Chain A
Amino acid sequence: MATPLLEARHVSLAVELAGGKHLEILHDISLSLGEHQVMTILGPSGCGKSTLLRLMIGLQKPSAGEVLYRGTPVTTLTPSTALVFQNFALFPWLTVQENIAMGQSNSPLTEAERLQRLQHAVTVVGLKGFEEAYPKELSGGMKQRVGLARALVVAPEILCMDEPFSALDVLTAETLRNEIADLYTSKESPVNSILMITHSIEEAVFLGTHVVVMGAHPGTVRAVLENPLPFPRDEHQPEFLALSAKLHALVTQTVLPDEPPTAVPAPMLAPQAIPNVSPVRTIGLLEVLENEGDQDLFNLTHQVDTEFNQLLLVVKAAELLGWVNTPGQRVQMTPAGREFLAADIPKRKALLNAQLRKVYIFDWVLGILARAPGQEIDEESLLSQLALIFPHERPARLLHTVIGWARSAELFSYNSRRKVLHAGH
């Protein structure tokens, strides 16, 4: 087999948290991007997708394992790569042309060659006529075109993109997505391979020749699927839909493992936390299920117009509280869920209170509070204990979520001025 263009070998990354604790963000990741491939990386929020991309480019160093470019380990920046950012990262004080020229500021080309490349990049992304404009005069879609042109002007072998369409509206994203596909298939384009981070399954299938599914806490590669569909692709092709469905199932599996959890037995032993979603959103899910009846996860995404990964977290929270069941791809409301929905506000509080006590993390905090002098504990010490028990979660974010739920159930209180948690009201 030929040497891959870019390869990650057993890459892990751990960061140090306050108090000397370590948080493992990526765990033993091995990936390889060959020539003429589009690799799309898909995963729930917080799984370290963007971090992985930065490791592959050489912006960050892994704490274990290595990244190789054409078989040679990468020590500084990976050669011949360019990055397109989610939020464009344009210099507001430079014109469109100056922003794009930034990409070639120190290339060893002659003046004429540079100008020729610059004009080519401008034309390819459709920015002709906008050269003298400043970024603040452009719409989001045009801004991202500038970001794309800045990347293309260096004629990179590997074009990296970090959720390039997330900050754009649906229609604009659709347009740009098609343009990227054209760019990849066009003979003239210098782009050899593409590495793209996304959270949208459709996007991943639309562009990817290889789709990588990542799991979170810590970030790992769950599966790599090949997508041999020819370009241009059509979202209504049966093969397209089949692959999408398969990916939906895979992503669901990583977030909501079905019993029996044969694939990954380890997480069951770990104490239960709670997904990073708010009570209001979770109750909203129940309302939708009440009105629309039990749903397929796939349909539900379109029904509530939420990003699939986000929806999965909401469903996971509802399942944790015993309000829904998720056999396979279906979401069913349980009698407990129905009872909760029918209740008035004080009753709901009581029900939620009782449910939360059964969830490990809330029970654990209540235990600490009961034993603490004055039934009060300061945030700092709780955070450091959380980091021990949930080594793969960001403690501050987890605590924020926990406090949100506890407040709406009047389980315990939090004083943000004194930064303490205390029991009762």
Chain B
Amino acid sequence: MTQLSPETSPLRRLGVVDLAVLAAVLAGIYAVVTVAREWAGHLQPLAEIHLEARYLPGYLLYSLTRGLLAYGISFVFTLVYGYIMARVTGAERLLLPILDILQSIPVLGFLPGLVLGLVHLFPQRNFGLELASVLMIFTGQVWNMTFSFHRSLKAVPPDLAIVARLTHLTRWQRFLHLDLSYAATGLVWNSMMSMAGGWFFLTVSEAFVLGKHDFRLPGLGSYMSVAIERGDGLAQVLGVFTMAVMIVLLDQLVWRPLLTWSHKFSDEENPVAPGWWLGSWFWRSRLLHASFARVRQWFRRPAPRTPVRETRVERAFPQGLLRLGRWLLLGGLVVAIGYAVIQFTRLVLQLNRDDWFLILGGTALTFSRVLAAIVLASLWTIPAGVWIGRHPRWSQRLQPIIQMVASFPAPMVFPVVVGLVLALGGGLGSGSILLLMLGTQWYILFNVIAGSSAIPRELWEVTRLMKLSTTQQWRRLILPAIFPSLLTGWITAMGGAWNASIVAEFMKYQNRTLLTPGLGSLISQATEQGRFNLLAAAVATMAVTVVAFNRLVWKPLGHLAEVRYSLET
């Protein structure tokens, strides 16, 4: 069963490639040991960060491990939460809004609880602090994956579900062969986006001030924040370079192979994902082929034999338990939410009127910045995206590059931009708009490209035959046709911009603190000063604003997009 199409990739003898594979395995073992040592080490809240280049590989390793661990947790969370949400009757009505709210809470909203709780749990070892950092990265990754998985589960073709029933698949087999397989393509794409989302707040997740305590974990994020704080230009460049290396490595070693593999689950035929140059080289390794063949065989081993009777027993047995479990789950959730609401109210009631003015004023300011960033980003991404989408050759070539650029965490280049803005005589007030734009414009660009490439060629031809002017073309064809995808882009970009405001409105720059009034800087400040009541209120305000805007503006527009501007007739 090992037909890896040898005619397309001639196998070479054991050679350079195999040595490279072997070296990679050894390096992997060494890396695991190093990371384990750091995690099990004595608690060291403020790790010393060296700005010399030779320390960078180590930092890269630490950050990469955190990112991957966080991703692992995200994946498990997604499967469990998404499955319950889609398959347990009635769960959706409660779990979907919760997910919506959680998604709109910026990472700093999770920070105090995670750090204080986990450090308290592991007072002697680094483990607690490391786990807190991982979980903060997790909060930047997980939500869109869960949404995507849930959407796929809801869209599983009914006929296939019937086949699963008629062939008496067990729950687990059904999950593996139907649900997970059907969701695979969407999960892989969203995983890529999630990973980028996790890196975005790396600087915050690894180095932060919480009240009187200063926390710093060894990693690329801390390296960058120290370099920025000290104004070390060379170190900043090195840090950015290392981050770029990590992103390219992840792209080539993880995402492109996964994308290639996930094509199996879609109806299109495309053996290798575009842009996977490392793959076409490595694919020729003999060692790899042999081990892949092993893995495949293992996966294809038939399921252990279980007589049909057992499935019926299984179906009869959990009915009562299932109902009990459902009520326990529901009850637990209600109690937890009730407790959280009471605690939250107690915390927030301590605030005085000035604090509330600060919060409301900050919301207005940040809101206008977010809007401005979206408008400015749209001004260039819409024309560019439409053009790229219209030229398939270019979009094929550019897509992988744009993806990589987009997954680079924008906050790492913020200092350069801020330096420019300051040199030109601007302040952080207007500069932060630029920073927000830098972080979120990609979502709009991606979606516009997708929307524009979906416009049928016939429609372009019609506009040409009717000799429509450019303005008419935009009004009659392009804007309506890309509207649904543009909307998706805007929604994602806006959510991202709100969250990004916590790093865009407040930063440590060359030994001083730059700050512009706004909800984001308020949250950052409150964290640094350890004012948890203000933090809670500000984070809640942000979440409420985002959710309210989604409900009141985006949702009606989404409905309009669906009924009027869908390209399906």
Q: Show the binding face of A for B, using Cβ within 8 Å.
A: 57, 59, 76-77, 81-83, 85, 87, 89, 91-94, 101-108, 111, 114, 132, 134, 136-137, 150, 154, 416-417
Contacts and interface: CB of A to CB of B under 8 A. Distances in A.
22 contacts: A59-B162, A59-B165, A77-B166, A85-B159, A89-B159, A91-B177, A92-B266, A93-B265, A102-B167, A105-B168, A105-B169, A106-B167, A106-B170, A106-B303, A106-B305, A108-B305, A114-B302, A134-B264, A136-B268, A150-B163, A154-B167, A417-B564
B177 A107 contact: no
B306 to A, nearest CB: 6
Interface centre among A82, A106, A108, A134 (most CB of B within 10 A): A106
B312 interface: yes
B311 A106 contact: yes
B265 A107 contact: no
Given A83-B166, A89-B162, A104-B167, 10 more contacts: A59-B165, A83-B163, A89-B160, A91-B163, A101-B302, A105-B167, A106-B167, A106-B306, A134-B264, A417-B564
Nearest to B161: A89
A91 B266 CA distance: 10
Contacts of A111: 302
Contact of B163 (A76, A89, A104): A89
Contacts of A92: 265-267
A47 B315 CA distance: 33
A94 B177 CA distance: 9
A90 to B, nearest CB: 8
Contacts of A107: 308
B181 interface: yes
Given A83-B162, A91-B177, A416-B563, A76 B315 contact: yes
A151 to B, nearest CB: 9
Contacts of A57: 166
B178 A91 contact: yes
A105 B166 contact: no
B99 to A, nearest CB: 27
B173 interface: yes
Nearest to B560: A417
Interface in B269-325: 269, 302-303, 305-308, 311-312, 315
Contacts of B564: 417
B566 to A, nearest CB: 13
B157 interface: yes
Contacts of A94: 177
Contacts of B303: 105-106
A77 B167 CA distance: 10
Interface centre among A81, A93, A132 (most CB of B within 10 A): A93
Interface residues of B, number: 34
Nearest to A79: B308
Contact of A106 (B266, B308, B315): B308
B165 A89 contact: no
Given A92-B266, A105-B303, A87 B159 contact: yes
A417 B556 CA distance: 12
B159 A102 contact: no
B3 interface: yes
A82 B173 CA distance: 19
Contacts of B265: 92-93
A150 B162 CA distance: 13
A139 to B, nearest CB: 15
B206 to A, nearest CB: 39
A102 B178 CA distance: 11
Nearest to B170: A106
A28 to B, nearest CB: 26
A154 B564 CA distance: 47
A416 to B, nearest CB: 7
5 tightest A-B contacts by CB?
A: A89-B159, A108-B307, A93-B265, A106-B168, A93-B181
A106 B169 contact: yes
Contact of A132 (B3, B162, B167, B311): B3
Interface in B175-222: 177-178, 181, 184
A132 B5 CA distance: 12
A69 to B, nearest CB: 15
A108 to B, nearest CB: 4
Contacts of A108: 305, 307-308
B312 A76 contact: yes
Contacts of B159: 85, 87, 89
Nearest to A109: B305
Contacts of B162: 59, 83, 85, 89
A103 B564 CA distance: 43
A104 B165 CA distance: 12
B441 to A, nearest CB: 32
A89 B167 CA distance: 13
B497 to A, nearest CB: 31
Contacts of B170: 106
A114 B303 CA distance: 12
A102 B3 contact: no
A309 B265 CA distance: 38
A286 B170 CA distance: 56
A306 to B, nearest CB: 23
B8 to A, nearest CB: 16
Contacts of A150: 163
Contacts of B563: 416-417
Nearest to B266: A92
Contacts of A416: 563
A91 B166 contact: no
Nearest to A81: B166
A33 B44 CA distance: 77
Interface in B230-283: 264-269
A52 to B, nearest CB: 15
Contacts of A81: 166
B263 to A, nearest CB: 10
Given A91-B181, A93-B264, A106-B311, A136 B166 contact: no
Interface centre among A82, A83, A91, A150 (most CB of B within 10 A): A91
A76 B405 CA distance: 54
Nearest to B269: A136
A150 to B, nearest CB: 8
B333 to A, nearest CB: 29
Nearest to B157: A89
A105 B315 contact: no
Interface string B542-566: 0000000000000000000001100
Contact of A91 (B160, B307, B308): B160
Nearest to B309: A108
Nearest to B268: A136
A57 B162 CA distance: 11
Contacts of B311: 106
A57 B167 CA distance: 12
Contacts of B269: 136-137
Nearest to B164: A102
Interface centre among A83, A92, A137 (most CB of B within 10 A): A92
Nearest to B263: A93
Contacts of A59: 162, 165-166
B531 to A, nearest CB: 49
Contacts of A137: 269
Contacts of B308: 106-108
A136 B271 CA distance: 13
A95 to B, nearest CB: 9
A416 B563 CA distance: 9
A416 B265 CA distance: 37
Contacts of A114: 302
A154 B168 CA distance: 11
A79 to B, nearest CB: 9
A59 B164 CA distance: 12
Contacts of B268: 136
A27 to B, nearest CB: 24
Contacts of B168: 77, 105-106
Contact of A82 (B160, B166, B169, B315): B166
B178 to A, nearest CB: 7
A102 B307 contact: no
